[in-house]
Amino acid sequence: MSNLTLENAIVRLLKRRPFYGQFLLGLRREKGSAGYAVGVTIRDGVPILSVNPDSYDSELSEVQEGLLEHCVKHLVHLHMLRRKGRNHHDWDLACDLAINPTIAHLPADAVYPRKLALEEGRAAEEYYARLANPFDTGSMEGHGAGNAARDSEGKVEAGEEEPRQQTVDDHTIWDDADSTPLRLAEEVVRGMVRDAFLKADGEVPADIREIVEGMLRPSPIPWRQVLRQFVAAAGRTGRTTTWLKEHRRFAHITPGIRKKRRLNLLVGIDVSDSTNIAELRETFARELIRISRGREAQITVLYANSRIQRIESFGRMSGVAEIYHGGGFTDLRPVFDHARTMHPLPAAVIYLTDGIGPVPEKMDFPTLWVLTREGEKPAPWGVEMRLEV
């Protein structure tokens, strides 16, 4: 998606508030279809920025920047991942109440705690507790038809109809976040925060400094868990239609949807000296074999430096070479070039590397960078994971 107005807004943020600008560069962009100017979510492990060009272009330049800052804060706080089991309307509103007071310029209809006689500076969960209406008879998606008012402490009382408030960005796409395990989403955002922090020379806005510093600490999540959850999320992207299963909404007039059973993964292994370590390769290979045996998976392994040196393929009953001597300089692009020629296309790319080498400008496939201890994430896109052995 090309949008000059969006590009200009990000450039302004890069100059004025570099952390936000750098963070936004790591999001995959797509054209939004809803009436909202912007929206943000995580879909199958990939962070997505949705932009409706017509709606976005109509906003003042400072509001355009404010909306982008709004999206970054939703993602850093993982608001869309914390919505499960809650009334969607109330949780969505609570998340906006938590972050809007910290943003200088937003659309005129943005909701603020003072509009609902609530205090500023509360967490989304606290606002949700105040908004949750015990008389609400609606579904999880809607707000319901309750008839209530708030007392002096902001609590809901029966008797009067509560005025309906709306979010400033598209929260309907938050449903897509259900495809990503929370722990994997944490690692996705952690990697983006780390990358933005470094590229912004450590300059972080005061209102998010505490959460950023928490994400900069070593990850408490074992690398094996990250790898397994990434593969599980990639498996959800493969779907096919079938007349053997009834469609949920359109019954007999539309074929149903079922997940493809076979999962195709492409694994790139950098054959430079930094990854040519027996214990490192063997540990990585054993985990890949364990994953392939646990489900119907076909894994293609490419050994590459400046070009692809060797190609192997294995499934549930075969193995993978732990050591391959390559040498030479590293170019990370050939693996992704090969991915585009595969039939069927891989559900995801997993790359074991030190990260030193040129990469594609954009991400065509969900990507997991499995980095060595001293490795560097080579691109703003993709999920970062450190292989500790």
pLDDT score, position 148? 37
Query: Looking at residue 179, what is its pLDDT?
Result: 83
Residue-level pLDDT, tens digit, the chain, 389 residues = 457 999 999 999 999 999 999 999 999 999 987 789 999 999 988 899 999 999 999 999 999 999 999 999 999 999 999 998 899 999 999 999 999 999 999 999 999 999 999 999 999 999 999 987 654 444 455 544 333 333 434 444 444 445 568 899 999 999 999 888 888 899 899 989 999 999 999 999 999 999 999 888 877 778 888 888 888 888 765 544 444 445 444 444 444 544 455 788 999 999 877 777 777 878 888 888 777 776 677 889 999 988 898 898 876 545 554 445 555 678 999 999 999 999 889 999 999 999 999 999 888 888 999 988 888 889 888 888 888 76
Q: Is residue 296 within a helix (H) or strand (E), and if so which, with residue range?
A: none
Q: SS3 helix, strand, coil % of the chain, rounded to 5?
A: 40, 20, 40
The pLDDT of residue 290: 79
Residue 294 has what pLDDT?
Answer: 65
As given in the structure block, the two tokens for residue 52 are: 């409706």
Q: Looking at residue 2, what is its pLDDT?
A: 53
CB 228 within 8 A of CB 214: no
Give dist(CA 378, CA 389) in Å, integer: 21
In terms of Cα–Cα distance, which of 111, 169, 166, 117 is closest to 143?
166
CA 51, chain centre distance (Å): 16
Q: Which amino acid is at 120?
A: E
Angle between helices 61-76 and 18-25 (to 10 degrees): 70
Residues listed for the chain: 389
Cβ(339)–Cβ(345) below 8 Å: yes
- CA–CA gap between residue 115 and residue 110 (Å, rounded): 10
Q: How far apart are CA 261 and CA 294, in angstroms?
A: 12
Q: What residue spans define the domains of the chain?
A: 4-215, 222-386
Rg (CA), the chain: 23
* pLDDT given for residue 159 in this prediction: 42
DSSP-derived pairing of the beta strands 367-371 and 46-51: unpaired
pLDDT attached to residue 142? 52
CB 113 within 8 A of CB 101: yes
**What's the rounded Cα separation, in Å, for the pair 370 and 351?**
6
Query: Cα 335 to chain center, whole Å?
Result: 23
Q: Which CATH architecture has domain 222-386?
A: 3-Layer(aba) Sandwich (3.40)
∠ Cα 299 351 177 (to 5°): 85
